[in-house]
Amino acid sequence: MEGTRIQLRTRKKARIEIIPLIDVIFFLLATFVLFTLSLNRIQSVPVDLPFASPPGEHPDETPKDLLTLQVSDQGNLYLNKELIDIDELAPRLEQFIKQTSGGIDAARVLVAGDDRAKWGVTVKVLDEVRKAHIGKVSMETRTRLTGK
């Protein structure tokens, strides 16, 4: 009797199968997309936003509680398109506050300037407005033609 031979199986090399890995990744991606889409419920609150009137509809109509002060490049001061001296500003501000229906709390001032206005005069105007205790002061960010 011959000896029994034991045959050893040859071991296969280990390898990573990429196809099942891609399937798992696509499954996770699809699950994530579907889950995020189900969370995306848009709920809104109705809001009434203000809108501007079309140009030319009421060009000369200004609110009675708004005073426009414009500083020109020559250092001139225009109060509602009327040329005044800087020394006249304090009494005019007091008169404006008295004419305003809500008093000092409703008084508003808009400070504007032309494209070459000097900051020194503008600061003096702002200082006079502060001395008059007017709290609602706005600076116009666009330039105007002088006296307009």
CATH number at residue 97: 3.30.420.270
Any domain includes 60 = no
Any domain includes 114 = yes
| pLDDT, greater one: 62 or 2 | 2
For 18, 94, 117, the CA distances from 111, given in Å and listed in that order, are: 70, 17, 11
Average pLDDT, the chain: 79
Give the count of domains, the chain: 1
Q: Give the residue from 57, 100, 62, 99 showing the smallest Cα distance to 81.
A: 62
Q: Which of 2-6, 59-63, 83-87 has the lowest mean pLDDT?
A: 59-63
Any domain includes 8 = no
Residue 13: predicted pLDDT = 84
pTM of the model: 0.54
